[in-house]
Amino acid sequence: MSSKRPSRLRFNFGFFLEATLGTSRTIELNYPTIQVEDLTLSPLAGTFTATRTSEGVYLSGTLSSTIIGECVRCLEKATIPINLKLDDLFYYPPHTAPEGEYALGDDGFIDLAPLVRELTVLETPIQPICRPDCQGLCLECGQNLNEADCGCEPDPIDPRMSALQKLLDSSNN
Ligand SMILES: [Zn+2]
Ligand SMILES: [Zn+2]
């Protein structure tokens, strides 16, 4: 049992390949923190079912994690909970896998790292916010309004709407 790659998400399914079609196993993951390729997931936990099918091993289940991003409103650290839905067939033998599909290794191992990474990237919000009611930064002075009120006169118009407001103003004139 040797592994060239340091992935901690490699699982031996060798025993399983000899099993009757339809045989399934439930696998539980519970990592307080784990490095998955270039991502650090803290935690990575959940359960999935592996089922032997005629084409390979089908994985189904949900893992949960959190990722750390930068809040687009206040630029502080944002901790974002994410769910990773596994719904993937790992082909076996590996040469039967169509282009771009996952496969078991010839050695019967499944490395979940590429799949977990792919799902994490897909689930990562493009515009993360630290919390739904984040007040963001004052547009005048840059004060983080979650921490303190700066006393600047609040602009009644959302800056994103100001272009529209100008248009309305000019049409009223
Ligand atoms: Zn924020
Ligand atoms: Zn201010």
Q: What is the pLDDT of residues 34-43, one digit of tens each?
A: 999 988 899 9
C-alpha of residue 137 to centroid of ligand 2, in Å: 8
Q: Say if CB 51 and CB 35 are below 8 A apart.
A: no
Q: How far is the CA of 85 from the centre of ligand 1 (A)?
A: 27
Q: 101-153: per-residue pLDDT in tens?
A: 999 999 999 999 999 999 999 999 899 999 999 999 999 999 999 999 998 97
Least confident of 36-40, 45-49, 90-94, 144-148: 36-40
Give pTM, 2 decimals.
0.75
Cβ-proximal residues to 155 (8 Å cutoff; 6+ apart), any chain: 139, 140
Q: How far is the CA of 75 from the centre of ligand 1 (A)?
A: 6
Closest ligand by atom to 77 CA: 1
Q: Give the ligand at the shortest distance from the Cα of 152.
A: 2
Residue 4: pLDDT above 50? no
